[in-house]
Amino acid sequence: MTDLVPTREHTELAAAVRNLLDRRSDSQAVRSAIEQPGGYDADLWATLCDQVGVAALAIPEEHGGAGFSLAETYVVLEELGRSLTPSPLLASVIASSALGPRDYESSARIASGAVATLAWSGVTGDIAAPVEVRWDGALHGTVSPVLNGDTAEILLVVAEHDAGTGLFLVDPTADGLRRTRLAGMDPTTGFARVELDAVAAEPISLDAAEILATTHRVGTLATAALQVGCAQRGLDMTVAYAKQREQFGRPIGSFQALKHRMADMLVRVQMSRSGAWAAVQAHVHDAPEAARLAAAAGSYCSEAAMAVAAETVQLHGGIAITWEHDAHLVLKRAQALHQLFGLPHQQRAALIS
């Protein structure tokens, strides 16, 4: 039976993560983190892994994890989205889903906080996106963009071969491997280009079609969590500003037209959260409608985050486009997440196919 609403344990987990992020990932800390070599605060990441165990939540105990589920990881990701915290958790969740029970050592390393990523065109596209890497005993090709691809300590690569599509583990120090960090619109989300020139690799699975389908669903739901959190941040900022900013001698939040616009923002946030939670629960409990609910959540949450981010900028007026204000970070985060795991129209196509 699914949990239609978060349990008390989920609420307490969210509160614990929020309390930590409020202290360690405020606006100034976020801006300092994006200037770090990896694009995130390594000390904060270590604290999240050591004190909360965020990287281990969805990994089974027999593989070195905490033995919880994607629902608990969803709770953490939503809080990371709300605070706009740069973090490698999304990349590691996707990689650990692809890895599954097939490599105990790598799973245990991910659970302890080692950053992992999956180099696959499906991460930044729909599941049918063409794979540009070939395996003929070694890997050849280029994947771009790859989440945290320049700093990942565990690198998984999807490649075509004569018998189908496979999943391979690559040593980040291997000869012929080149990883280049990419500049993007969103400074809080790290991407890189991964180039492979006759790179040695260990096959994890030579028939990875089912693995990738599940991973694409997990990635869609993890991204939806970040989108819900991002939209919540935009709503919170806008409501607070509308109470403070005065025009014609009264707070602008008292104007009926702006009340309606903020009410619409609230509806989008709440519907996104409900849809994403239902989809996560369906996945956790392996419900027959899990794939359809994930596609629905991926479509709605992506468009809702973009709409709320746009309204956040509009309702803040001129200050929203300044570097000093965080409104532009909300918009940039929403735009970056919008590109992951298929655009909304692709998710809708999957929903009806």
- Domain annotation for the chain: domains and CATH numbers: 8-111 (1.10.540.10), 116-208 (2.40.110.10), 210-352 (1.20.140.10)
Position 246 scores a pLDDT of 80
Reported as a pLDDT band with limits 50, 70 and 90, residue 1 is very low
Q: Kindly report the CA angle at 186 between 185 and 189, in degrees rounded to 5? A: 135
> Which residue, among 89, 84, 80, 21, has the nearest Cα to 58 in the 3D structure?
89
Q: Alpha-carbon distance 199 to 323, whole Å?
A: 41
> Which residue, among 146, 140, 102, has the nearest Cα to 123 in the 3D structure?
146
Query: Which tens digits make up the pLDDT trace of 229-258?
Result: 999 999 999 999 999 998 898 998 889 999
Q: Alpha-carbon distance 237 to 316, whole Å?
A: 9
- Phi and psi of 180, rounded to 5°? -125, 125
Q: What is the mean pLDDT of residues 41-53?
A: 97
Q: What is the mean pLDDT of residues 21-30?
A: 97
Position 350 scores a pLDDT of 87
Q: Alpha-carbon distance 186 to 34, whole Å?
A: 10
Per-residue DSSP letter, 40: S
Query: Which tens digits make up the pLDDT trace of 159-200?
Result: 999 999 999 999 999 999 999 999 889 999 999 999 999 999
Beta strands in 252-353 (DSSP E): none
Q: Kindly report the CA angle at 208 between 92 and 347, in degrees rounded to 5? A: 70
The DSSP H or E segment spanning 182 is strand 177-182
Q: Alpha-carbon distance 282 to 49, whole Å?
A: 26
Position 318 scores a pLDDT of 86
How does the average pLDDT of the chain come out, rounded? Answer: 95
Q: Which two tokens stand for residue 96?
A: 């650990």
193: β partners: 180
Query: Which tens digits make up the pLDDT trace of 73-97?
Result: 999 999 999 999 999 999 999 999 9
Q: What is the mean pLDDT of residues 333-351?
A: 95
N-to-C CA span, the chain? 27
Please, which residues have CB within 8 angstroms of residue 28's CB and are 6 or more apart in sequence? Answer: none
Percent of the chain with pLDDT over 90: 91
Per-residue DSSP letter, 211: H
The DSSP H or E segment spanning 118 is strand 116-119
Query: Which tens digits make up the pLDDT trace of 94-107?
Result: 999 999 988 889 99
Position 330 scores a pLDDT of 98
Residue scoring higher pLDDT (1 or 138): 138
Would the pLDDT of 38 be above 50?
Answer: yes
